[in-house]
Amino acid sequence: MPFDKSVNLPQVIESRPSRPESHVWSDFQSLIENVLDIITVLDVKGTIIYESPSVERVLGFTPSQLVGRSAFAFIHPLDIPKVMPVFMLGLVTPGVPHSVKFRFKHVNGSWCHLEAVGKSIVEQDGTHRIIVTSRPVSADSETKFSLGETTIRFGDLVEGLGEGLLITDGADRILYANIRLSELMGYEQEEMIGRTPYELFLSEEHWSVYQDFKEKWLKGESEHCEIPLLRKDRTPLWFFINVTAYRSASDQPLGIQAALTDITAKKKAEAELQEAYAALEER
């Protein structure tokens, strides 16, 4: 499949020179078409917006079979809880390369073990893109994670994040919760697995509102909001929550992934400021 110069790629890739040195672009085009690694460009929802021709040599799919589809629909279900936090971390750390190993579906139905290195960029219009380079690795290679020039175990990084990370399945049962979320909410990680977020973290009066939001998330609508949640001891905390959905190859909702940041101190400071302002107005 020839490289389509009309594809709307990020500037890092779509760097056609304005000068008349056409051989520069030709060399670049040739490099992309013949590189052995798979080059993928994703949007913030994980939708594939570009796939290099090398994907057919490695995975059997043509680029046109993958473009427009969610990358998570082709990742092994047991690897999604591992890949999702890496994807989210990449979005919030533009310019920093991250890597992770996972299984990606081959066109023949088997699973190919890949090691991917990705880096998010922000275009001039503010649009975020993630550029990923992938190559096949042996099945028994150890899963590690790279942050710049430092390589550490995936679990060490995810568990050391300042944000709570949560991944659910299509029935809204929790598949993965990191240690930070456990610390924030007062539950052991094992206590949260298999339970639903609303029964753990919300009062019953808010369950119906949560269900409405969940339906939107599963349709692919991203959500950024501030929300009060309850710890295990029912102490209320405020969180900034970033929620997105991931879907199957047949476009069926597989679940949602969320990053939660504790903003209780911020909300308390805002409330105190409002009280002080109100008192000043009275005087």
Beta-bridge mates of residue 166: 177, 258
CA distance 187 to 3: 50
pLDDT in tens, the chain (283 residues): 333 433 444 433 343 333 444 444 444 445 445 556 888 999 988 899 999 888 998 999 999 999 999 898 899 887 887 888 888 878 878 888 888 889 999 999 899 999 998 888 888 888 889 999 898 887 655 444 444 444 444 455 455 556 788 888 878 888 888 888 999 999 998 899 889 998 999 988 888 888 877 777 777 666 677 888 999 999 999 988 888 777 665 666 777 888 888 889 888 888 788 888 788 888 7
CA distance 220 to 30: 35
CA distance 277 to 273: 6
Listed in order, strand segments (DSSP E) in 106-179 are 111-122, 128-136, 144-147, 150-153, 164-168, 174-177
The encoded tokens of residue 68 equal 């427009």
Q: Which amino acid is at 238?
A: W
